[in-house]
Structure 1
Amino acid sequence: SPDLPETSGSCNVNIACPEGQPYFTLGESVVRITVYVGNLSGSGSGVLVNNTALDGKPYILTAEHNGLNFFTGAFATNDNLQNWEFEFNAHRPTCSNQQQPQNIISYTGCVLRMRSFDGGGNTGSDVALLEINDPSFQASTHRFAGWSRQNTAPASGYGIHHPSGDVKKISFFNGPAVPGVFSQQSTPLHWRLVWSATQSGHGVTEPGSSGSPIFDLSNDLVVGTLTGGAASCALRNAPDYYGMFWHQWDGNGSSSDRQLKPWLDPLNLDPQTLSGKNLSVDEFGLKAQRYFAYPNPSRSGGEVVLPKSVSSHWSVYDLQGRMLFQVEESNVLLAPQSSGTYIIKHRYENIQIPLIVQ
């Protein structure tokens, strides 16, 4: 059995444990990566992220250093990248370590869209964005994580990852993350944090966790990716460092091969945040395409409607993130608003689904 016994330290916490269960669905976006660089291989983590086109492109956010040959400094070649493997659903079904993962979905091959060109965090925020190019990829079967590019330290949060190539684990930090300097940086470009004990253990990180996301507990959005640190089951209070998403957005250079922005904001909407998304069936059983916006396009407002009567909460924002109004109805009217582009969040039993209406 490839995932028995455990390969990570015994202090780590399965995502199916009680403290991880509220984040189990969000964790479906986190992947285990088998990397190949030259003649070397290893393991890492990453996360499937949403983009403003909401089109299901399989972008994997991870750490640049996962693809670096530390003997030569060279990044994985295109031929190497065609052998990288991405595993979804590599988690145990219960908190116990005695059961194998079920329903693992695996894809092979990717192309590099951008990276930070900073030596894996030596001088920058250590990021790479990959696009899976396996023709069998089906966006409709996966959860896409949301993100925040606001330069705001999370007061608390959690990381979901694959330590030492093991099944999916979750770690929590209850104290605030603070700006930290990693390696040779002249300014803080990482979130520095210390992990906290929970009822099932004391989650940390290990080699293989690299590239995994941290989520802000207040909004469940990705705010960084793991570069490294000293945390382990033996050093549970040692700090870890996550490259800041806000800096990864456009702070590593001006060209598209150094920025997340051109790839995650193809519509050039310039949002501060973007919610996560399930492209297949939203969590209350309605297909995503069964939202209707009409008239569309419109010069004088419009209406977004669900074809089924459900108890719904709608929030309407402008592109600066300002909330304009909220309503508890099966539809939301935009007629009172001036001409422009609006972001609408639909909440049903704490599930948020973003819509962008022009």
Structure 2
Amino acid sequence: MRKLLPILFFVFASASFAQVTNSGQPKSWKSINLDEIPTIAMPDFDLEAVKAEDKVNDKKRNVPWRFGYDFSVSYGLDNSGQWFNLESGGRLWLLKFHSEGAKTLNFLFDQYKLPDGATLYFYNEDKTDVLGAYTSSQNRADLNFGSWLVDGDTVIVEYFEPESSLGQGLLNISAVVHGYRSAAQFKSAKALNTSGDCNIDVDCGVGSDFDDLKDELKRSVAMTVVGGSGFCTGTLINNTANDGTQYFLTANHCLGGGVSNWAFRFNWISPNPSCATTSGSTSGSFNQTASGATLRASNAKSDMALLEISPNLPDSWDLVWAGWDRSGNSPDYVVGIHHPDGDIMKICRDDNGPFQTSLSFNFEPNTEVWYINEWEQGVTEPGSSGSALFDENGRIVGQLAGGAAACNGTSNNGAYDFYGRFDVSWDFGNTASTRLKDWLDPNNTGEVIIDQYPAAQVFTNDARLIVNELDSEVCGTTAEPIFKVKNVGSNTITSIDFSYQVGSATPVNLNWTGNLAPDATVIITQPTLNINGSTSVQAAITSVNNNVDNNPTDNTYANTVNNFSGQSYVTTAVTFELLTDDYGEETTWELRDSSGNLIQSGPNSPYADTQNYSISLNVQQDECYNFTINDSASDGICCFFGQGSYELVTAENEVIFAGGNFTSSETTSFSVVSSLATQQPNLEQEVSIFPNPSNSVINIQNKTGLNYSYKMYSVTGQLVKNGDNNQLSVNQLPQGLYLLQLDFENGQKMTERIIVK
């Protein structure tokens, strides 16, 4: 079977990529004889041995495509180069590097701190490839910096220090990279137009239903230079504070080391787009670059990495921070915007929409992904890794992990791609370093969907539904979500019609009135929902200010909530009994509680082959658990390479689960209880309230055997009746809508709508 390879491709940059970070020209060009500059000659190295290593490493999915040989050096302002005083004031520091036969040279710095007014340039001897001016805007607390690549085997480094800042600069080059191979060895051109002919430039149309969104979202996408030696793609992403924090979403497999010397290049778009033709694109302006970032979060479970770009991105670049949707709902169709092979910005579209699955990828046995069978327009290629997957509303739902899609002439090869799922990235793990929610929802608003920043369009009547405290898995028989509404329009909201439904129960309709200012949020209701097994929960805003919402795409919520009904065991202990197969070292496992906390995992050292193990699990009563067993070779522990098996067994020898024939992983959910009597009744099934509507009497039929009391409220929240009997009179109440809440002695609550005629 064909292996799934990360779409991460390492190539070199050419003169067509040469550009300035801001603008200007090296000062040495007007006043310095370049022949006078001291030259550092890099030593020879065994290129044939390096190429022999590449033949092996190029086939590995977890090893970067290497283009250069790294010389470790230490050259700084105090121990090398030459200073030149300028008649106009200030001084220049110049140093020349030569590495015989190099196609490119690039530089890493372990000390980079420029004072205000100082500049740093890199250029080759014939002045055809220039990088700069880099300024104090690239300064970082860790002093790291990485340059782009310059064509040729001889490169001059120029540092200018103004008279007002003499002696304040700090520079030290820690590595010089000799680029010994390039994209030109594989394709006839460099960078621009290196991607396949079936690719579509981002300014080509992909459908009238998305073209307006595309014209906004392309301003969020950047090509990234990974550690000076590789290409990926990523996207500026919005957070619930809508404050322009420079968060950047890409793929975990693009990291490969620190991100402090990453380079980001925005808005490289062809002014004369090529739309899946053999005609090449023409290069557009490409001078919007920044260097340096901090890693905020990453995980292999969804192949996600979130960075924060360090230098301020200028307002003049007119960038956009893309919105996102963490609901996990399947999109109708999806679009990708990316830089394949380090080429100019491209776009692709899948009309059929992706589906969710898990697969073994990059040493994670159970990566959660969106799977795309085939692109209808365009394609992705190496270098597209980390690029965002946008749903039909232009919101991020994932980032590119891997696949086999490629061009076959001006058509694609009909192969698949897969993207790490945003909803999994949102809350995976137990710390901010593995999940997105701590960064993208800094005020813990609980928003499931947000739009881009700055907003593409502000509507007058626009309410957004937010659902908090409702996970897909509930330990127990009740859930207590918080239904909230945020005003994202320009008008004050004075009324909201809202509805929610649990399973097949009668929908609950509510009307909120008040004054909700733009950007403000209000809680509509906090009901107690009865969950029994797999239960659907739906909610919707049905009207705003007695009118249809101008932007209804964020008005609905749908989720399936599961509890541990039928998987509860009265016991004081659970044991994991394991018989390994012929490859015991491939087996690992973990136990997590209902909050996702890791309780226990193993083994501490690899398991032996065909051996029995008995492990006591650290369980507590009245808690729910997920037990997952993994096989790193994705062939389970039975029955291909030995007859391995496992069981989860209670202290009373009741088997919770037994198995062994799986692929990469298998998960068993169960709860441990002190007594099944402690399991709460299903109120939806055992309590009836009738007739409804009624003009006179409401009857409460209670089959739970539990005592209860009731409270009846008006829609404004005023208590109008309370008691503990089985019948209540409503004939004296005004016509309208009321809420009846039942409070049971075991702590359960039930809310039912009552319409009085």
TM bin (shorter chain): 0.7 to 0.9
Structure 1 counterpart of 2:220, which letter? S
Decide which of 492, 497, 506 is 1:332's aligned counterpart. 492
Q: Do 1:50 and 1:56's aligned partners in 2 also have CA atoms closer than 8 Å?
A: yes
Distance 1:27 1:57 in 2: 18
What is residue 125 of structure 2 aligned with on the other side?
Answer: none
Say which SS state the counterpart of residue 102 (structure 1) adopts. coil
Say which SS state the counterpart of residue 200 (structure 2) adopts. coil
What is residue 206 of structure 1 aligned with on the other side?
Answer: 381
Q: Do 2:248 and 2:309's aligned partners in 1 also have CA atoms closer than 8 Å?
A: yes
Deviation at residue 30 of structure 1 after TM alignment: 1.1
Say which SS state the counterpart of residue 33 (structure 1) adopts. strand
Decide which of 29, 33, 39 is 2:220's aligned counterpart. 29
Say which SS state the counterpart of residue 314 (structure 1) adopts. coil
What is residue 18 of structure 1 aligned with on the other side?
Answer: 205
What is residue 182 of structure 1 aligned with on the other side?
Answer: 359
Against the structure 1 CA distance between its residues 98 and 160, is the aligned structure 2 distance closer, same or farther, given a 3 Å change threshold?
Answer: closer
Deviations along 1:13-52, whole A, 9 cap, x unmatched?
001112274312212111110001xxx7100000000001
Q: Structure 1 residues 314-323 or 336-345, which shifts more?
A: 336-345
Deviation at residue 338 of structure 1 after TM alignment: 7.9
Deviation at residue 53 of structure 1 after TM alignment: 1.0
Deviation at residue 316 of structure 1 after TM alignment: 1.7
Against the structure 1 CA distance between its residues 103 and 5, is the aligned structure 2 distance closer, same or farther, given a 3 Å change threshold?
Answer: closer
1:257 aligns with 2:448: no
What is residue 718 of structure 2 aligned with on the other side?
Answer: none
Deviation at residue 211 of structure 1 after TM alignment: 0.3
Distance 1:5 1:212 in 2: 18
How many residues align structurally? 297
Q: Do 2:206 and 2:349's aligned partners in 1 also have CA atoms closer than 8 Å?
A: no
Deviation at residue 260 of structure 1 after TM alignment: 0.4
Say which SS state the counterpart of residue 95 (structure 1) adopts. coil
Q: Structure 1 residues 147-156 or 316-325, which shifts more?
A: 316-325
Q: Do 2:484 and 2:521's aligned partners in 1 also have CA atoms closer than 8 Å?
A: no
Against the structure 1 CA distance between its residues 98 and 4, is the aligned structure 2 distance closer, same or farther, given a 3 Å change threshold?
Answer: farther
Against the structure 1 CA distance between its residues 277 and 342, is the aligned structure 2 distance closer, same or farther, given a 3 Å change threshold?
Answer: farther
Say which SS state the counterpart of residue 242 (structure 2) adopts. coil
Normalised TM-score (structure 1): 0.73
**Cα-Cα RMSD:** 3.4
Deviation at residue 326 of structure 1 after TM alignment: 9.6
Against the structure 1 CA distance between its residues 136 and 48, is the aligned structure 2 distance closer, same or farther, given a 3 Å change threshold?
Answer: closer
Q: Do 2:405 and 2:415's aligned partners in 1 also have CA atoms closer than 8 Å?
A: yes
Deviations along 1:271-305, whole A, 9 cap, x unmatched?
111111127xx669xxxxxxxxxxxxxxxxxxxxx
Paired residues for 1:142-153 under 5 Å = 142-153=319-330
Distance 2:446 2:484 in 1: 16
1:313 aligns with 2:464: no
Deviations along 1:108-149, whole A, 9 cap, x unmatched?
100000111x3xxxxx11010000001455498310100010
Deviation at residue 195 of structure 1 after TM alignment: 3.5
1:272 aligns with 2:448: yes
Structure 2 counterpart of 1:112, which letter? L
Deviation at residue 154 of structure 1 after TM alignment: 1.4
Q: Give 5+ residue unaligned stretches, structure 2.
A: 1-15, 18-189, 275-279, 469-482, 496-512, 524-540, 545-549, 555-757
1:54 aligns with 2:234: no
Distance 2:375 2:387 in 1: 18
Distance 2:405 2:491 in 1: 48
Deviation at residue 236 of structure 1 after TM alignment: 2.4
Distance 1:324 1:113 in 2: 29
Structure 2 counterpart of 1:52, which letter? T
Distance 2:487 2:302 in 1: 37
Q: Do 1:171 and 1:195's aligned partners in 2 also have CA atoms closer than 8 Å?
A: no
Distance 2:284 2:373 in 1: 29
Which protein, 1 or 2, shows the higher relative CO under an 8 Å CA cutoff with sep ≥ 6? 1
Deviations along 1:173-216, whole A, 9 cap, x unmatched?
0112111333255556100003333xxxx411111100001111
Q: Do 1:190 and 1:242's aligned partners in 2 also have CA atoms closer than 8 Å?
A: yes
Say which SS state the counterpart of residue 467 (structure 2) adopts. coil
Structure 1 counterpart of 2:215, which letter? F
Among the aligned pairs, what percent are the same residue? 35
Q: Do 1:33 and 1:84's aligned partners in 2 also have CA atoms closer than 8 Å?
A: yes
Q: Do 2:233 and 2:384's aligned partners in 1 also have CA atoms closer than 8 Å?
A: yes
Deviations along 1:223-249, whole A, 9 cap, x unmatched?
000000000003621110100000000
Decide which of 308, 317, 325 is 1:131's aligned counterpart. 308
Deviation at residue 63 of structure 1 after TM alignment: 0.2
What is residue 267 of structure 2 aligned with on the other side?
Answer: 89
Structure 1 counterpart of 2:203, which letter? A
Q: Do 2:339 and 2:383's aligned partners in 1 also have CA atoms closer than 8 Å?
A: yes
Q: Do 2:487 and 2:521's aligned partners in 1 also have CA atoms closer than 8 Å?
A: no
Distance 1:243 1:333 in 2: 37
Structure 2 counterpart of 1:87, which letter? R
Q: Do 2:239 and 2:440's aligned partners in 1 also have CA atoms closer than 8 Å?
A: yes
Greater fraction of residues in strand: 2
Say which SS state the counterpart of residue 253 (structure 2) adopts. helix
Say which SS state the counterpart of residue 24 (structure 1) adopts. helix
Structure 2 counterpart of 1:109, which letter? G
Structure 2 counterpart of 1:341, which letter? T
Distance 2:247 2:485 in 1: 31
1:115 aligns with 2:298: yes
Distance 1:32 1:64 in 2: 15
Distance 2:460 2:313 in 1: 36
Say which SS state the counterpart of residue 159 (structure 1) adopts. strand
Structure 2 counterpart of 1:204, which letter? V
Against the structure 1 CA distance between its residues 204 and 341, is the aligned structure 2 distance closer, same or farther, given a 3 Å change threshold?
Answer: same
Deviations along 1:250-287, whole A, 9 cap, x unmatched?
12x101111100000001001111111127xx669xxx
Against the structure 1 CA distance between its residues 171 and 319, is the aligned structure 2 distance closer, same or farther, given a 3 Å change threshold?
Answer: same
Say which SS state the counterpart of residue 359 (structure 2) adopts. coil
Q: Structure 1 residues 170-179 or 331-340, which shifts more?
A: 331-340
Distance 2:366 2:290 in 1: 37
What is residue 291 of structure 1 aligned with on the other side?
Answer: none
Structure 1 counterpart of 2:247, which letter? Y
Deviations along 1:29-87, whole A, 9 cap, x unmatched?
11110001xxx71000000000011111100000010012xxxxxxx13xxx2221111
What is residue 195 of structure 1 aligned with on the other side?
Answer: 374
Distance 2:339 2:375 in 1: 18
Distance 2:401 2:365 in 1: 16
Against the structure 1 CA distance between its residues 334 and 108, is the aligned structure 2 distance closer, same or farther, given a 3 Å change threshold?
Answer: farther
Say which SS state the counterpart of residue 210 (structure 1) adopts. coil
Q: Do 1:107 and 1:136's aligned partners in 2 also have CA atoms closer than 8 Å?
A: yes
Paired residues for 1:215-254 under 5 Å = 215-217=390-392, 219-234=393-408, 236-251=413-428, 253-254=429-430
Q: Do 1:313 and 1:326's aligned partners in 2 also have CA atoms closer than 8 Å?
A: no
Decide which of 40, 43, 47 is 2:231's aligned counterpart. 43
Structure 2 counterpart of 1:313, which letter? T
Structure 1 counterpart of 2:440, which letter? L
Runs of 4+ in 1 over 6 A off after TM superposition: 321-327
Normalised TM-score (structure 2): 0.36
Q: Do 1:157 and 1:173's aligned partners in 2 also have CA atoms closer than 8 Å?
A: yes
Against the structure 1 CA distance between its residues 181 and 318, is the aligned structure 2 distance closer, same or farther, given a 3 Å change threshold?
Answer: closer
Against the structure 1 CA distance between its residues 256 and 169, is the aligned structure 2 distance closer, same or farther, given a 3 Å change threshold?
Answer: same
Distance 1:227 1:4 in 2: 22
